Amino acid sequence: MRRSAVRHGSILTAAATVLAVGAAAPPTATAPHHPAPAKVPAAAGWGGAVASVDADASAAGIEVLRKGGNAVDAAVAVAAALGVTEPYSAGIGGGGYFVHYDAKTRTVHTIDGRETAPASADARLFVENGKPIPFEEGMTSGRGVGTPGTPATWRTALDAWGSKPLRKLLEPAERLARDGFTVDTTFRAQTAANEARFRDFPASSQLFLPGGQLPAVGSVFKNPDLARTYEKLGREGVGALYRGPLARDIVNTVRHPPVRAGAGRVVRSGDLTERDLAAYETIRRRPTQVSYRGLDVYGMAPSSSGGTSVGEALNILESTDLSRASQAGYLHRFIEASRIAFADRGRWVGDPAFEDVPVRGLLSQRYADSRACLIRDDAALTSPLAPGDPRHPAGGCTTAGAGAPTTYEGENTTHLTVADKWGNVVAYTLTIESTGGSGITVPGRGFLLNNELTDFSFTPADPAVHDPNLPGPGKRPRSSISPTIVLDRTGRPVLALGSPGGATIITTVLQTLTGVVDRGLPLVDAIAAPRASQRNQATTELEPALWNSPSRPELEAVGHAFRQNPEIGAATGVQRLPDGRWLAAAEPVRRGGGSAMVVRAGR
């Protein structure tokens, strides 16, 4: 295959200029305090780096790194802090996927911490009287709650690679929950979006609507119940969430949702049991891996579709020199590769414990070439595009067969990226699914329960196409989470990144990666660049800057159709610079901007 003129050496050189041409380097991070540390989207220096959506959470990770903790230790501390400051996106009531680079062995490892359905679940979990229940009624219910995987993920990661006890790593988050954090416009807006739901659950209303009102911007928000829950987990271990009084509280909340008397909302119960919680296990999976432009790109294997979809799209794009393409030409190829990858995702990717997922085939260059030949420069493909068969790559180009539309997936999640002074790296995406999850807080415990089971297809997207993502007993719903680590040919990390955004996670990671590798953008600029997202749908989503750009009419002229999306994703990443420093990068604007910090700033 032809190779782009842009190599990883020039990637690093380009990234090194970002602070020189921008604002002065930010100050070194301090421990969490109030008001929160200022948010800055880029920081470069030594001793380790953290990037997340929240300054208090990033500071928690820096605190751990300063005290000698490694990247895994810091990632757990950041995740716990995000459970305080980003409770509508993450927390111990949810799950996620953890990708780790071990500097000693120069290898990448992953943890599947996805939530699981109750043992009683079957394909009719969300079907009543022969019809799927309304999505909104599945979203706000006990029916949509899966067994949380986040605490077990922390235990698995720390047992394998950590150097500090969980008790110490939870201290910054426990302190933040007890003493409070400063409410910003994003937190207030997300609370407002959930206000009607929260008012129907007394525990949620009491916590998130103090005094019956939306929290004011600039006020201090405290969560003493969560502080006590973290203290319990630190003292007893995360097993306290899966067995005992806390597990019983979770199960009672799911099976008997505590709805306000007189609420008109239909809130179905779930069938989660204490046995389901006690049986939960994370899974150490082999990462996905593809070679792209001389780099090795590692991602998350199924049950997430992130690694296979990003990898397949990169393989499709491998044959095109995107560094020389016009902006419209680049976007055309990016959109079509995304469309094809999503067509194959919908047919083939599900929980591998239940489905025969052809991961090797989906990631083979031979299969990608058989799909890439569908792409024409003078005409756009139409959706829903039919899937291919990676077990038997077609000899000629064909779009024959039925294509299933991509089902809805909640867009709120959070991602953190960490590197330490030894060169270890973590890319970790965690979620409770919808913004605010199920909307149901476990009384007296201070955290929201997920509604992750709504990531299952309620019914097949198209009865003519096999759907690998129907519910099943103990099954993990398919995810789009795409934490990604990129290594050079010596096995050393070049960059790591990820994003929230439901199914748009895949396209956000793909666009950011190709922005850096092919378009020569510094990581900060690739994160900030306006985004497009095609997910095997009739129209491609565009952020306003692309909607209003000259590229849109050029693309429409060859058959693309578009709709606006005001905001797609909210990525964070870290990058190794040529002089040995780490660059942390986060969003400058999306979701209120992110927070990049390093242990010791400077050149």
State the Cα–Cα distance between residues 267 and 253, nearest whole angstrom. 12
Instruction: Say if strands 540-542 and 562-564 run parallel, antiparallel, or are unpaired.
Output: parallel
- 413 given a catalytic annotation: yes
- The one-letter amino acid at 422: W
Where does residue 92 rank: exposed (0-12), middle (13-18), buried (19+ CB within 10 A)?
buried
Residue 245 to residues 106, 150, 173, 270, Cα–Cα distance (Å): 41, 18, 22, 19
Task: Note whether 254 and 270 are within 8 A (CB).
Answer: yes
Residue 359: closest CA among 475, 282, 468: 468
Cα distance between the two ends of the chain: 38
Which of the residues 413, 417, 512, 540 is marked catalytic? 413
State the Cα–Cα distance between residues 3 and 561, nearest whole angstrom. 30
Instruction: Concatenate the DSSP letters of all residues of 236-302 into one string.
Output: H-THHHHSSHHHHHHHHHHHS--PPTT-----------HHHHHH---EEEPPEEEEETTEEEEEPPT
Task: Note whether 118 and 456 are within 8 A (CB).
Answer: no
State the Cα–Cα distance between residues 48 and 352, nearest whole angstrom. 35
Residue 323: closest CA among 112, 7, 569: 7
The continuous run of DSSP H or E covering 308 comes out as: helix 306-317
Residue 500: closest CA among 522, 527, 482, 476: 482
Residue 423 to residues 9, 25, 46, 67, 536, Cα–Cα distance (Å): 18, 22, 11, 16, 38
Active site residues: 413
